[in-house]
Amino acid sequence: MITAYCSDSKPLELPDLSAAARLPDNAVWIDMVDPTREEEANIERLLGLEVPTREDMKDIEPSSRLYIENGSVFLTASLLWRADSDLPTLTDVAFILTGQRLVTIRYAQPKSFALFIAALQRIPQERRTGVALLAKLLETIVDRTAEILEQTVASIDILSVHVFGDRVKKIRRPANYLEEKLKDIAGYHRTLSKLRDSLSSLSRVLTFLNAIPAMQQDREAKELCRNVARDVQSLSEHASFVAGNITFLLDASLGLINIEQNAIIKIFSIASVVFLPPTLVASVYGMNFELMPELHFAYGYPASLMLMVVSAVIPFFFFRWKGWL
């Protein structure tokens, strides 16, 4: 689907671009969402440029993602998509500055685009140029990325409390509790990893964008891009700090699981040691030899029971005295 946004903020859907069709003269932003090859060909004919395909946007070389060709600026950034789901991923979005128009090509619908479209009418009409809209769009994308990072940090803080437990409320954890939390940690790690990749991509786009002539001529858009670039830098540093916290949380969870397993093994080890002397006593007096001194002892049975109890109690209190229990 192709939508043209004019300088008067009225969106115009262009579901069918025939050979005789033409773009509105006041169209400042052309948004292509999951375009077909026919739609790409029509846009190329109308704008006189070659738009990157879905396969072209997957290239990771900077020269293939950021370049100027025939006076048009081509930028490709990786944006975080479906951050609220269990499987966040990156989607490549192409930004093209041609003349006074902005062209975007995307095969997903990140929330930042919906936020930008909703706020488009608040941009003054004289500021609705391709460069200014691109700067505003990148600002919205970075703001949305910051919101995702903030939500992730809040969720990690809650997860940290669940992993380490409440020191005031002594609540016994259910079985496999920490093992389930490891899945949550892995999910947050994936989100943060994709977010850092997106910030790195946006940083390269902003650095390249600040150097183009069209941006140098628009002082307000240039200042906005500089501010957005500083925001990206601070978010990247904060994301690195949060990544360290996730690593610590993962190591702590594994350590706590190991401690719990060692405690279980310790209980079995102590139980085996405590019951070893009574077993020895029972084994000795369970032998059926004919000539045994205590065989005809009238109080042999209660005495052997008492001896087994005493032999079990003494090691138990000895372990308590040593602090092993």
Q: Judge contact between 82 and 189, C-beta under 8 A.
A: no
- Report the pLDDT value the prediction gives residue 20, as an integer from 0 to 100: 46
- Report the pLDDT value the prediction gives residue 142, as an integer from 0 to 100: 92
Q: How far apart are CA 129 and CA 91, in angstroms?
A: 25
Residue range 20-32, pLDDT digits in tens: 467 777 788 888 8
Q: How far apart are CA 33 and CA 95, in angstroms?
A: 12
Neighbours of 104 (CB within 10 A): 20
Burial group, residue 230, by CB count within 10 angstroms (0-12, 13-18, 19+): exposed
- Report the pLDDT value the prediction gives residue 161, as an integer from 0 to 100: 82
Low-confidence residues of the chain: pLDDT under 70:
9-21, 125-126, 166-173, 175, 324-325
- Report the pLDDT value the prediction gives residue 9, as an integer from 0 to 100: 60
- Report the pLDDT value the prediction gives residue 166, as an integer from 0 to 100: 58
- Report the pLDDT value the prediction gives residue 231, as an integer from 0 to 100: 92
Q: How far apart are CA 137 and CA 220, in angstroms?
A: 14
276 contacts: CB under 8 Å, gap ≥ 6: none
- Report the pLDDT value the prediction gives residue 16, as an integer from 0 to 100: 53
- Report the pLDDT value the prediction gives residue 143, as an integer from 0 to 100: 92
Residue range 187-202, pLDDT digits in tens: 888 888 899 999 998 9
- Report the pLDDT value the prediction gives residue 172, as an integer from 0 to 100: 67
